Amino acid sequence: MGNNDSSVETFLQWIKASDNIVFFGGAGVSTESGIPDFRSVDGLYNQKYDYPPETILSHTFYRKHPQEFYRFYRDKMLCLDAEPNITHYKLAELEKAGKLKGVVTQNIDGLHQKAGSKNVMELHGSVLRNYCERCLQFVSAEEILHSTDVPKCPKCGGPVKPDVVLYEEGLNQKTLEDAIYYISHADVLIVGGTSLAYIRRQAHRLLQRKQACAYQQVHHTDGRKSRPSDTAGTGLCI
């Protein structure tokens, strides 16, 4: 109990002392909002479909089987009724207070912006943006949700593609460069809601080079990792 309390107190001291914080988050940030992650027991990777989700969400599958792609996409990827949770709101508060400089997210749900965050780097794009591949006409997520078969552009009739990074596709170079810049210049980097061991290792190395930087894993006394809503007073965990 004492060790956990000490870790949380140290974490809160880092937050209080820094005005150059960056948050790096993954799917676990939005599970409190009812959006499933990928690798948990109830995650997308453990559900049964004719094809594995990682196959469906690939560029090759999108090109070869657009009907099947959109059937899965509408059913599992469009969570338009989801609302931000305490983590999203606390991050927005920190940004408004001038302490948080940016949010780097792997999520595609737009909940950080919905909570009020302004400087959000979406590594994997967003379901809220969809464009005609022929004329680049914008198509809303609501139009995609209520479409049938493969969505068509209302302007030219061309195929519409979500502005999300599928497997086999590269990240947006500008977004990636911005994320690297903010992470490498942060005094405090908070990593939450992601199981990417590589990202954690790289974040740790970056933070070791910075003065007054921090990398701390918060645990409950029973061994459970903290969920965003469990971290006292902040809604943040790393």
Domains and their CATH numbers in the chain: 1-35+84-124+170-238 (3.40.50.1220)
**What is the band of 3 on the pLDDT scale with cuts at 50, 70, 90?**
low
Q: Is 219 a catalytic residue?
A: no
Other beta carbons within 10 Å of 203:
23
Query: Is this structure's pTM higher than 0.85?
Result: no
Give the active site residue among 59, 65, 112, 124.
Answer: 124
What pLDDT was estimated at residue 7?
Answer: 86
Q: What is the mean pLDDT of the chain?
A: 83
Strand partners, 23: 103, 190
Asked whether residue 147 carries a pLDDT value surpassing 80, the answer given is: yes
Residue 127 half-sphere exposure toward CB, CA atoms < 13 A: 24
Is pLDDT larger for residue 49 or for residue 83?
83
